[in-house]
């Protein structure tokens, strides 16, 4: 079984992360419980910064907040010198509440509301990434009303179909995101942005998808984007001074997944960009990359308590845990695959083939199909690896399940960074209309 980050098996047979016994973490904070490995988060953030500093010094690494966004995570990213890629007013408010430097915020999103844009203008975010013509005109109107000039990127859809799940491809021609390059919309958007008095177009952005392992997808993207930049300079006289190539680097969820190092990715991306810039005789733009999953994904582990089991002779054995698609919808959404072990019996032989079922009222609420673990008992703790990305951030209250707590572990110390929701939290925003108050006459049908 491959272990991640600072994981190790203790002499007591328990799984340790960041020097903390996961069995003790489960006892103290309950399950399901997200455990985030601080040292692994920092190591990966630093790897991005270092490889780009060495190979393309005029660069900026910005963390994709949609991956895993809390105030503590904002503080970690600030501490490591990263900016933030945010896509909603809620994410922006989280950064504001954490005291994050907003000039290092890049505000994305394909349907930002006027209120969200007003908040971004009021708070002075560094760049607003404009996704469509409606937003471009709205932003001009709002900036004019505030007598501001706002720096923007335009999001370009380069027409690259990355080798990943269909639902997390974003760079293909048929996409809800951005201005299409192949159909001429991107060039029209650049021309229009240059006409607007309260807009300063400083750069372009693209993002081709998520969980990308094949680096040739990025090579093609760089070629297309730099060719487009050269065309814009020749035909419109506009020079791109900043270029965001998005994120999307994949991680190893299972032993079968290929491993792509951050260092190899960074060197290859930088070399490719420098080569294309030289080929077109252009000035080098500032390079922005937006990693998320490859920083937080392998740093996260979810702990569950095992409950019931069910054997269907000749078919399979189901083992149920106290969480599921409410805290990890990725299996149902993307057919995602995970590895896991029994955290309290991590040194025992894994000789029982089981499938891990969640507790939600859905047949599709499965976490892992065909996992080998020791024969499980009720009360055992199951640790599912690589749940740091798009698990907490996509969690829901389906079946009115409270969302789990999150703890950050490092050097033998564990700190709560998100409290577990209570049943009281689940009804806190509910309202009962007066006509439904007890004792009131029912409406005649």
Q: Looking at 20, 74, 206, 361, which residue is catalytic?
A: 361
pLDDT, residue 267, reads 97
386 included as an active-site residue = no
pLDDT in tens, 3-61: 999 999 999 999 999 999 999 999 999 999 999 999 999 999 999 999 999 999 999 99
pLDDT digits (tens, 9 = 90+) for 46-58: 999 999 999 999 9
According to the model, what pLDDT value does residue 165 have?
37
pLDDT in tens, 85-131: 999 999 999 999 999 999 999 999 999 999 999 999 999 999 999 99
pLDDT band, very low/low/confident/very high, at 173 (cuts 50, 70, 90) = low
Bridge partners, residue 405, by sequence: 33
The average confidence (pLDDT) of the chain is 94
At residue 260, the pLDDT reads 87
Strand, helix or coil for residue 17:
strand
pLDDT at residue 2 in the model: 85
Please check the confidence at residue 171 and state whether its pLDDT lies above 50: no
- Report how far residue 1's alpha carbon sits from residue 338's, in angstroms, rounded to the nearest whole number: 12
pLDDT value, residue 300: 98
At 444, the pLDDT band (50, 70, 90 cuts) reads low
Model confidence over 300-321: pLDDT tens digits? 999 999 999 999 999 999 999 9
Give the pLDDT score at 359. 97
Question: At residue 166, does pLDDT exceed 70?
Answer: no
CA 181, 184, 188, 191 torsion-angle sign: positive
**pLDDT exceeds cutoff 90 at 445:** no
pLDDT score recorded for residue 162: 57
Instruction: Return the higher-pLDDT residue of 80 and 255.
Output: 80
Is the C-alpha dihedral spanning 298, 304, 306, 312 positive or negative? negative
pLDDT value of residue 163: 52
Asked whether 237 and 323 are in contact (CB, 8 A), the reply is no
Kindly state the helix (H) or strand (E) to which residue 139 belongs, with its residue range: helix 133-146
Kindly indicate the confidence band of residue 160, based on its pLDDT and cuts at 50, 70 and 90: confident
Instruction: Please tell me whether residue 184 adopts helix, strand or coil conformation.
Output: coil
Domains of the chain by start residue, with CATH: 8-37+297-427 (2.40.37.10), 108-291 (3.20.20.10)
Q: Could you tell me if 66 and 357 are in contact, meaning their C-beta atoms sit under 8 angstroms apart?
A: no
Percentage with pLDDT > 70 across the chain: 96
Question: What's the CA gap between 223 and 244, in Å, rounded?
Answer: 14
Task: Give the predicted TM-score (pTM) of the model.
Answer: 0.94
pLDDT at 413: 98
Higher pLDDT, 182 or 53: 53
């Amino acid at each position: 079984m491959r272990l991640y980050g600072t994981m190790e098996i203790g002499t007591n047979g328990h799984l340790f992360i960041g020097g903390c016994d996961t069995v003790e973490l489960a006892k103290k904070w309950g399950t399901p419980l997200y455990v985030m490995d601080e040292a692994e988060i920092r190591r990966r953030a630093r790897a991005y910064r270092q490889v780009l500093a060495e190979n393309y010094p005029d660069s900026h690494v910005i963390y994709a907040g949609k991956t895993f966004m809390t105030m503590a995570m904002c503080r970690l990213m600030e501490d490591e010198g990263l900016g933030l890629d945010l896509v909603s007013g809620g994410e922006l408010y989280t950064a504001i509440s954490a005291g994050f430097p907003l000039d290092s915020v890049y505000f994305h999103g394909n349907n930002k509301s006027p209120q969200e844009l007003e908040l971004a203008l009021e708070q002075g975010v560094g760049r607003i990434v404009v996704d469509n013509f409606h937003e471009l005109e709205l932003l001009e109107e709002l900036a004019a009303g505030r007598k501001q000039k706002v720096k923007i990127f335009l999001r370009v859809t380069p027409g690259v179909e990355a080798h990943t799940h269909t639902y997390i491809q974003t760079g293909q021609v048929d996409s809800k995101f951005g201005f299409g390059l192949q159909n001429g919309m991107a060039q029209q958007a650049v021309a229009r942005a240059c006409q607007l008095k309260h807009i300063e177009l400083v750069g372009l952005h693209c993002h081709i998808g998520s969980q990308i392992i094949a680096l040739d997808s990025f090579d093609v993207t760089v070629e297309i984007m730099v060719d487009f930049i050269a065309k814009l300079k020749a035909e419109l006289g506009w020079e791109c001074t900043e270029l965001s190539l998005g994120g999307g680097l994949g991680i190893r969820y299972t032993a079968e997944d290929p491993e792509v190092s951050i260092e190899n990715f960074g060197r290859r991306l930088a070399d490719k960009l420098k080569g294309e810039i030289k080929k077109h005789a252009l000035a080098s733009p500032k390079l922005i990359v937006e990693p998320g999953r490859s920083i937080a994904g392998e740093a996260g582990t979810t702990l569950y308590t095992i409950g019931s089991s069910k054997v269907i002779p000749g078919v399979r054995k189901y083992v149920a845990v106290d969480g599921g698609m409410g805290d990890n919808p990725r299996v149902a959404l993307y057919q995602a695959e995970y590895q896991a072990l029994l955290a309290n019996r991590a040194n025992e032989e894994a000789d029982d083939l089981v499938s891990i079922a969640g507790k939600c009222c859905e047949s599709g609420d499965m976490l892992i199909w065909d996992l080998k673990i020791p024969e499980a008992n009720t009360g055992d703790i199951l640790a599912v690896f690589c749940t740091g990305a798009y698990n907490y951030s996509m969690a829901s209250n389906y079946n009115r399940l409270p969302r789990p707590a999150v703890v950050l572990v490092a050097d033998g110390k564990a700190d709560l960074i998100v409290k577990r929701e209570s049943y009281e939290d689940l009804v806190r925003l509910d309202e009962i209309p007066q006509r439904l108050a007890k004792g009131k006459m029912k409406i005649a049908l």
